[in-house]
Structure 1
Amino acid sequence: MSTQENVQTVKDFFAAMGGGDKQRLLALAAEDIEWIIPGEDWPLAGTHRGHAGLADVLQKASEEVETSFPEPPEFVAQGDRVLAIGIATGKIKATNKPFKDDWVFDITVRDGKVTNIREYIDTQALARASEMDASGLA
């Protein structure tokens, strides 16, 4: 596939994610997709594998985090790798604490399917927003 086709696959993936179109999202993801979200002490951190892992992390995201994207991401691509670069703002629902996250997703596309996602995010901002105080309250 061409670099432009790979970028379009990633744009379609983001559109399906943002629109909650689970069927389209799974159609764009390889069966053995691996999504790595770095960090500790915040709800989405970890390695998520396969369609079940993808569905699980997106479900958890909708339950745990309110996120908005004030501007569309920038896409930079070479071959089968597409970098999506953007900013997210939002809050962790359990603590009601806000965050601002400058992020880069390093995405690999093969044969028209997203096979790997590695996030580079502000893990400290997300962990801080996830912290409870000593009483267990935000």
Structure 2
Amino acid sequence: MSVEENVQTVKDFFAAIGGGNKLDVLALVAEDIEWIIPGEDWPLAGTHRGHAGLADVLQKASEEVEMTYPEPPEFVAQGDRVLVVGVATGKIKATNKPFKDDWVFDITVRNGKLKTIREYIDTQALARASEMEASSRS
């Protein structure tokens, strides 16, 4: 596939996530997709594999995090890799604490499907927003 087709596939993936249709999202990813979200002490961190892992992390994201994207992301591509550069703002629902996250997704597209997603995010901002107050931990 061409670089332009790979970028369009990634754009379609982001649009499908924004649209909330799980079937549209799964149609754009390889069955053995691997999505790596770095960090500890926040709800989405970990390595999520396959359609089931992807569905689980997207469900968890909708339950745990409120997020907005104040400006459209930038797409930079070469070969089968597409970097998506953006910023998100929001809050962790359990703590009601806000965050600002400058992020980059490093996405590999193979045969027209997303094969790997590796996030580079502000894990410290997200972990801080996920911290429960000492009095509410009991």
Deviations along 1:54-108, whole A, 9 cap, x unmatched? 0000000000000000011000000000000000000000000000000000000
Partner of 1:13: 13
Partner of 1:65: 65
What one-letter code is carried by the residue in structure 2 that aligns with 1:92? I
Do structure 1's residue 77 and structure 2's residue 77 form an aligned pair? Answer: yes
Deviation at 1:45, TM superposition (A): 0.1
Taking the aligned partners of 2:39 and 2:30, their CA distance within structure 1 comes to 24
Partner of 1:4: 4
Question: The residue matched to 1:136 in structure 2 has which SS?
Answer: helix
Taking the aligned partners of 1:9 and 1:61, their CA distance within structure 2 comes to 22
Question: The residue matched to 2:53 in structure 1 has which SS?
Answer: helix
Once superposed, which parts of structure 1, at least 4 consecutive aligned residues long, lie more than 4 Å away?
none
Taking the aligned partners of 2:56 and 2:45, their CA distance within structure 1 comes to 12
What one-letter code is carried by the residue in structure 2 that aligns with 1:54? L
Q: How does 1:94-113 map to 2 (within 5 A)?
A: 94-113=94-113
Partner of 1:116: 116
Deviations along 1:24-63, whole A, 9 cap, x unmatched? 1100000000000000000000000000000000000000
What one-letter code is carried by the residue in structure 1 that aligns with 2:117? I
Number of residues of Structure 1 aligned to a counterpart in Structure 2: 137
Higher mean Cα deviation, 98-107 or 18-27? 18-27
Q: Percent identity?
A: 85
Taking the aligned partners of 1:72 and 1:33, their CA distance within structure 2 comes to 24
Unmatched runs of 5 consecutive residues or more in structure 2? none
What one-letter code is carried by the residue in structure 2 that aligns with 1:45? A
Higher mean Cα deviation, 128-137 or 58-67? 128-137
How does the TM-score come out when normalised to structure 1? 0.98
Partner of 1:24: 24
Unmatched runs of 5 consecutive residues or more in structure 1? none
Taking the aligned partners of 1:121 and 1:58, their CA distance within structure 2 comes to 17
